[in-house]
A and B are shown apart, each in its own frame.
Chain A
């Protein structure tokens, strides 16, 4: 026994030394720099601000002198949950946004990708047409649609309506959210289409062939063959859909400013953190938004990885 362990030890030792010897001092230095600098930057620019935000959400502070920070416990969160009706309005809008993207915009993007991948006639044209909005930022899209739909805008002008009689696309609660969602989907659909199209191109054509030889219908082929083969892209699409819905900000900010005309969590963060009105209620909003986006994503990814491990 003892000799066996001794042998093992002696065998193990040079092995370890071997591995060590492959990294010279210079190598270690280079590796240290290569890993150290990005790590430092990552920690300093991502983790530090994130941790600081979480800490600050438990404080009172105007954002100016570090010495003025006062511990507030859960006061900011209590204020948001129990005193601030606009928070619930904003949450509702974000949830509607998420459901709309998840149920309508994203599946529509997938459908378009599938159609274009089937190379229907004029598919190149459709591809370009649907992809066009994606090259525009949401802020630019907001400006374009604002120009079209505001009371003195193009659409009301074509309808011949005076400002006082204009269709209130952005002001009327009955449909302003749907107008905004249509605007946002205009871009989102093209984005998802492109992502999915790239994935579809990578699916082995023989899989489809085999399925059709086995007599599978188009829908069965997609559902049972193509969709599972696309698992990695599906994850990306789902994560993007969740993030895009919850972080929505620019399009709303362009149209409503920070006034809360259509309340949304991203704007509440900004409104409570920017300008003279800065309070750490804004940091608390940011943490809530962070948790809302990270929890479903982590849960989903964990489940996916578990399945993969099996």
Chain B
């Protein structure tokens, strides 16, 4: 059975070819008509979520676009993990014209394979609404843009204001590593978990690694390490794990039994003081209640090495791409251009679900305190990274780094073995 799974791609492609050939014979006329579609034809939009809030946001863009242009748009909603796992097949088959995706390596990989539509014209039209770092994150290895950013979220230390007040902890004053350890100790003394952590999904802990590495060794080293120009066996990486180990006594013990939303529950239920995560989960707090959402606050991860201060942040960009094999490419481009524009993002903001726009021109006056603080956290950073699984090779991040961090949680004393193994697995990757 399993060998069939792996042969599936080849097999399926042949079948598709066969189906296409057969289809041409039977319905040649309609297919040709489909190929020659113009921008005013109906557009399909692949949405990689089935969750309540983001679904509403996607629907808001669709409704706004339909209202503006009168062009029919169909949203196809798929669960996020399933969407990611099927993306290769999806893009080679009959994909939606536009689809939600992520910037960085994860976009470049598909752009290199010729599966994405060149969005340079869209960038020429509305590119001045985005900062330069976003343009870099949207650019493929051939120098063209294949991605339009819509929103971003910072990774930082989240806490509940009311909880910190009760304890008498000035969380916003936590600036450096000693401050942080002090605060964690204080929380522990109160019988609380200092830092809520999760890694059952295999990716959650990557955020902590990213920020520790950037704080200790700086942005350049972090980027070079993930690109394979530095070694995992380097003493500087060991230093990262030595710091990480200092956090373990303050974490919940069931890290490997919780996914990100489990750790979020610890914060929501006031069992944990801090939670290192992307701010997207604000929407989950809001689903809970307005009061919980208003209680939420974020600070940047503390400084460790004064040389690098707090100059780097993981702030992944979410946005949209256009599939090359879509039926209505021109329509897709027009749609994503709208979706990434101020107007499109405003439609999402009007749903009342928190979102930080990637668009420079966006009116932020209506942002609430939590969102304003996200902007402030972002402003303090000079360098933006996407996230480990968007900044390194996909065949390394998921299958190799994920399990390596999990086994480190099981046995933190095995750091050296794990790092050696990481390096040898990097060296054994298929040549690109």
Contact = CB atoms under 8 A, between A and B. Distances in A.
A89 to B, nearest CB: 8
A72 B88 contact: no
B7 A49 contact: yes
A260 B3 contact: no
A152 B269 CA distance: 12
B258 A163 contact: yes
A213 to B, nearest CB: 47
A249 B393 CA distance: 25
B127 interface: no
A84 interface: yes
Contacts of B11: 44-45, 48-49, 52
A67 to B, nearest CB: 11
Contact of A164 (B8, B252, B402): B252
Interface stretch (B170-178, B210-218, B424-432): B424-432
Interface string A260-297: 11010010111111111111111100110110000000
Interface residues of B, number: 63
Contacts of A39: none
B5 A258 contact: no
A63 B88 contact: yes
B75 interface: no
A221 interface: no
B296 to A, nearest CB: 18
B255 interface: yes
B9 A63 contact: yes
A102 B300 CA distance: 54
B3 A276 contact: no
A163 B425 contact: no
Contacts of A151: 254, 257-258, 262
A82 B86 CA distance: 30
B398 interface: yes
A281 B109 CA distance: 18
A273 B254 contact: no
Given A49-B11, A164-B272, A79 B425 contact: yes
Contact of A172 (B257, B262, B269): B257
B303 to A, nearest CB: 28
Contact of B88 (A64, A166, A256): A64
Contacts of A52: 7, 10-11
A279 B254 contact: no
A83 B4 CA distance: 26
A272 B403 CA distance: 13
Nearest to B203: A259
Contacts of B9: 63
B109 A260 contact: no
A46 interface: yes
Contacts of A169: 257
B200 A261 contact: yes
Given A63-B88, A261-B406, A163 B269 contact: yes
Contacts of B399: 260, 268, 271-272, 277, 281
A209 interface: no
B140 interface: no
Interface in B271-290: 271-272
B407 interface: yes
Contacts of B5: 269-270, 273, 286
Contact of B265 (A50, A152, A168): A152
Contacts of B13: 66
Contacts of B397: 277
A86 interface: yes
A220 interface: no
A115 interface: no
Contact of B395 (A64, A82, A279, A287): A279
Contacts of B193: 164
Contacts of B403: 86, 259-260, 263
Given A45-B11, A49-B11, A276-B84, A261 B202 contact: yes
A26 interface: no
Contact of A276 (B4, B81, B106, B429): B106
Contacts of A171: 200, 254-258
B430 A276 contact: no
Contacts of B88: 63-64, 275-276, 278
A70 interface: yes
B30 interface: no
A274 B85 contact: yes
10 contacts: A64-B92, A70-B430, A79-B425, A162-B271, A166-B254, A168-B256, A257-B201, A272-B395, A275-B86, A277-B396
Interface of A: 44-46, 48-50, 52-54, 56, 60-66, 70, 72, 75, 78-79, 82-86, 150-152, 162-164, 166, 168-173, 247, 249, 256-261, 263, 266, 268-283, 286-287, 289-290
Given A84-B425, A164-B193, 10 more contacts: A56-B10, A83-B425, A162-B271, A166-B254, A259-B200, A261-B256, A275-B87, A276-B395, A277-B397, A286-B3
